[in-house]
Amino acid sequence: MSQAAVDALRRGEVIALATETLFGLSIDPEHPGAVARLLAMKGRSPEKGLILLVPDLARLEPLILPPSPVARDLMARFWPGPLTLALPARLHLPSHLTGGTGFIAARVSPAPQVMALMALWQRPLVSTSANRSGQPTPARAEEVRALWPDEALLVIDGSIRSDGLPSTLLRVEGERVTLLRAGAIPAEALQVRLS
């Protein structure tokens, strides 16, 4: 299934797979047709930016400014895992990824389906919840298929966490850490001072 997913991504198609937190929709962030299709499917504003899944820090570094010691510590302790970090982005990144904020949000996922896909894909991958904006997120592959019956969507079977919490989202700029979204990792477990 992973090779079929890679082939679909290269064609600019949208795929759905279970991450460590929620079922997500994924695309190749460098394929402009795929970005437009994904935003239209979800009814999502491009100003919100998009989260990237990356195979490892080495694949993220070309997209971000050198991470601070605080950011590196969080990566070392929580990646792979349900912690998304919004980090200062390099200037060349398209606004649909940053939402015009100057930050790029990314994480390394430990989900088996994601890890298998990343072993073949070896590049960043957009990941956003598999729902229409403002609606509940499907918990099972069958629910994803039912939600998008008219879309040519490759859905990879898998399971997600039972609590249905999204990844915890932090913005890290130098030593300053801001909680943007509470999620699967409780704030007290982060062991950082939040602003």
Tens digit of pLDDT for each residue in 41-54?
998 888 889 999 99
Residue 66: phi and psi, rounded to 5, are: -50, 125
| Percent of the chain that is helix, strand, coil (3-state, to 5) | 35, 25, 45
Q: In the predicted model, is pLDDT for residue 56 greater than 70?
A: yes
Domain boundaries, the chain: 2-190
Angle (CA) 24-114-79 rounded to 5° is 100
**Contact of 159 with 114, CB cutoff 8 Å:** no
Model pLDDT, residue 25? 95
At CA 101, angle to CA 100 and CA 104, rounded to 5?
100
Task: Summarize pLDDT for 161-182 with one digit per residue, the tens.
Answer: 667 789 999 999 999 999 999 9
Class of domain 2-190: alpha beta
> d(Cα 137, Cα 102) in Å, to the nearest integer?
27
pLDDT tens per residue across span 81-101? 999 999 999 988 888 899 999
Mean pLDDT for all residues in the chain: 92
pLDDT of 44 reads: 87
DSSP-derived 3-state class of residue 81: coil
Whole-prediction pTM value? Answer: 0.94
pLDDT tens for 110-157 read 999 999 999 999 999 999 999 988 888 888 889 899 998 888 899 998
46 DSSP assignment: G
